[in-house]
């Protein structure tokens, strides 16, 4: 016999009680062929091209789900950064393009479509400016479109003008969706070193170096790692942190293998020009109990996430996840680390509620995790310059450490520190976190570019 009972039982346990699932299969679609000099015509082509390319995504994901028994939670689409597609139109607003994306996603049964994006790490073209200015209306009038802006790379440095503008964009977007707690901002990410093949929204996009159609996969698995660590602790053996790292590696290996298998299968069944892209190894929490990254940190003996020691524990976790995952697939990509989206992780929310986790500690944690300040709620009266300064700090961590960092921050209209806002569904519930009472306005208004760090000189 090639398998034993315990092996099949272990898989069933992972799926049924530990939330093992494929968090997302994301089809990247190149829209480079859709550019025309007329915004209406471009919108039409974008819509039609997406409908043609992705019409099988949802039915096939369901088929694979049924055949393998591993749930595929989300089916999503990432497209070429829209600023590149919209620029030849010379239009003053790209809102029609956002609406075309939204309509296609709705008709295909897809919850989020990402790529209303611009790449402006070094400078901004006319198209980039138009896109940024279109964001508040585009995201407020659509439900499924996500936007991401790259404002820095380790190679190019940090575009502080773009960051200054982002402060205003975020404020305007929060105001435009004020009736829903500023939820528009949950669909907007500001990046340093934005990956071109990230399958996770809101930051997904189909990079300009990609092929026509690429299928990328994002796995989940905090629940699986958590249960394995709990079993390790309850085994009664004397354990060290090396055992912990080893356990996480093993679990990450299994989770990633499941992701690769399902991704390859979905890509194969989609056929045609679709190529399998990458597996993003990130541990992605959900608001469900037992599916939390913060809970993993706490089972390692931290009383609350955010207390001293949290950064070290998170570093161990992220590194072990990468090592196990890298062994399991040859196609690692995207963000690949551990996500710490505050509102989407029930234990993280609890840590903010009891005062253990502050914005500053969160920023330190992002130096060793894979994303950044993610789904962070701040007071509604936070100024644009203050938002820009928070972004600039986070972006610096990424740029100067040669890694991806990002900010998804929501200035919740009409709410102050300690108040709760509920975004619903996967986005969860957030507690508004206080920001510094001292103003950074002078620094932000200087503008210009922070030169690329010396580590960028690698040739």
Partner 1 sequence: MARIVTHAEVAQVPDGGELIIEPGAELTPLAKERATARRIRVAVGSPSVGEDTLQVAARVAEQILVRLGKTDESVVEKVASEVMAALGGVTAVESAPGLPPSADYCSTYLESERSRARRKVVITATGQNQKGVVAKLTAILADLGCDILDISQTLVGDYFTMLVIVDMAEMQADFAQLKSSLQQAAASMGFHVMLMHEDLVRSLHRV
Contacts with partner 1 by CB under 8 A lie at 1-5, 7-12, 40, 43-44, 47-48, 51-53, 55-56, 59, 66-70, 100, 107-109, 254, 257-258, 260-261, 265, 268-273, 327
Q: Which residues of 245-262 are buried (b: 16+ CB within 10 A; e: fewer)?
A: bbbbbebbbbbbbbbbbb
Please list, in sequence order, all residues whose beta carbon lies within 8 angstroms of the beta carbon of residue 328, skipping any fewer than 6 positions away: 252, 253, 254, 256, 257, 260, 279
Considering just the CA atoms, what is the radius of gyration of the chain in Å? 21
To partner 1, the closest distance from the beta carbon of 251 in angstroms equals: 10
To partner 1, the closest distance from the beta carbon of 68 in angstroms equals: 5
Nearer to partner 1, 102 or 394 (CB): 102
Cα separation of 49 and 335, whole Å? 27
CA distances from 387 to 84, 168, 263, 392 (A): 26, 8, 37, 9
Cα separation of 378 and 407, whole Å? 12
Nearer to partner 1, 5 or 454 (CB): 5
Hunting for tokens 């037992």 — which residue is that? 290
Nearer to partner 1, 68 or 155 (CB): 68
Long-range contacts from 60-69, C-beta under 8 angstroms, 24+ separation: 60/266, 60/269, 60/270, 61/25, 61/266, 63/269, 64/262, 64/265, 64/266, 64/269, 67/265, 68/261, 68/262, 68/265, 69/15
Cα separation of 126 and 131, whole Å? 9
To partner 1, the closest distance from the beta carbon of 100 in angstroms equals: 7
To partner 1, the closest distance from the beta carbon of 76 in angstroms equals: 18
To partner 1, the closest distance from the beta carbon of 48 in angstroms equals: 6
Nearer to partner 1, 12 or 208 (CB): 12
To partner 1, the closest distance from the beta carbon of 5 in angstroms equals: 6
Nearer to partner 1, 12 or 289 (CB): 12
Nearer to partner 1, 22 or 390 (CB): 22
To partner 1, the closest distance from the beta carbon of 22 in angstroms equals: 12
Nearer to partner 1, 144 or 403 (CB): 144
To partner 1, the closest distance from the beta carbon of 279 in angstroms equals: 12
* φ and ψ of 307, to 5 deg: -75, 170
To partner 1, the closest distance from the beta carbon of 18 in angstroms equals: 13
How many CA atoms within 13 Å lie on the side-chain side of 226? 23
Q: Is 407 helix (H, G, I), strand (E, B) or coil?
A: strand
Angle, nearest 10°, between helix axes 160-176 and 384-400? 130
Cα separation of 356 and 350, whole Å? 9
Nearer to partner 1, 266 or 410 (CB): 266
Nearer to partner 1, 48 or 422 (CB): 48
To partner 1, the closest distance from the beta carbon of 246 in angstroms equals: 15
Q: Which DSSP state fits 37? A: S
Nearer to partner 1, 67 or 354 (CB): 67
The distance of Cα 228 from the centroid of its chain, to the nearest Å, equals 25
Cα separation of 165 and 160, whole Å? 9
């Amino acid at each position: 016999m090639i398998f034993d009972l315990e092996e099949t039982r272990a898989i069933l346990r992972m799926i049924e009680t530990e939330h093992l699932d494929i968090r997302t299969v994301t089809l990247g679609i190149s829209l480079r062929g859709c550019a025309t000099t007329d915004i209406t015509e471009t919108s039409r082509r974008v819509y039609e091209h997406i409908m043609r390319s992705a019409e099988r995504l949802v039915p096939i994901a369901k088929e694979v789900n049924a055949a393998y028994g591993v749930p595929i939670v989300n089916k999503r689409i990432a497209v070429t950064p829209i600023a590149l597609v919209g620029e030849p139109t010379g239009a003053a607003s790209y809102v029609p393009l956002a609406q075309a994306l939204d309509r296609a996603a709705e008709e295909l049964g897809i919850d989020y479509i990402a790529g209303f994006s611009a790449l402006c790490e070094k400078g901004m073209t006319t198209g980039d400016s138009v896109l940024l200015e279109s964001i508040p209306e585009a995201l407020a009038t659509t439900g499924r479109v996500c936007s991401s802006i790259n404002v820095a790379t380790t190679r190019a440095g940090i575009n502080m003008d773009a960051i200054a503008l982002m402060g205003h964009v975020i404020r305007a977007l929060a105001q435009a969706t004020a009736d829903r707690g500023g939820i528009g901002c949950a669909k907007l990410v500001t990046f340093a070193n934005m990956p071109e093949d990230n399958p996770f929204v809101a930051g997904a996009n189909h990079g300009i170096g990609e092929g026509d159609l690429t299928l990328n996969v994002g796995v989940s698995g905090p629940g699986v790692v958590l249960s394995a660590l709990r079993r390790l602790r309850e085994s009664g053996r004397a354990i060290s942190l090396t055992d912990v790292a080893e356990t996480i590696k093993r679990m990450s290996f299994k989770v990633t293998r499941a992701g690769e298998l399902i991704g390859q299968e979905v890509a194969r069944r989609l056929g045609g020009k679709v190529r399998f892209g990458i597996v993003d190894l990130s541990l992605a929490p959900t608001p469900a109990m037992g599916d939390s990254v913060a809970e993993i940190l706490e089972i390692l003996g931290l009383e609350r996430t955010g207390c001293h020691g949290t950064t070290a524990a998170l570093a161990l976790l992220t590194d072990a996840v990468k090592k196990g995952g890298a062994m399991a697939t040859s196609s690692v990509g995207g963000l690949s680390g551990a996500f710490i989206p505050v509102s989407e992780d029930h234990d993280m929310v609890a840590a903010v509620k009891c005062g253990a986790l502050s914005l500053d500690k969160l920023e330190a944690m992002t130096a060793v995790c894979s994303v950044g300040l993610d789904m962070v709620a701040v007071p509604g009266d936070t100024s644009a310059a203050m938002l820009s300064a928070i972004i600039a700090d986070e972006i610096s961590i990424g740029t100067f450490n040669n890694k991806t960092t990002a900010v998804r921050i929501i200035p919740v209209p009409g709410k102050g520190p300690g108040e709760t806002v509920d975004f619903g569904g996967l986005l969860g519930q957030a507690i508004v976190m206080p920001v510094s009472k001292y103003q950074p306005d002078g620094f932000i208004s200087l503008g210009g570019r922070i030169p690329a760090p010396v580590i960028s000189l690698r040739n």
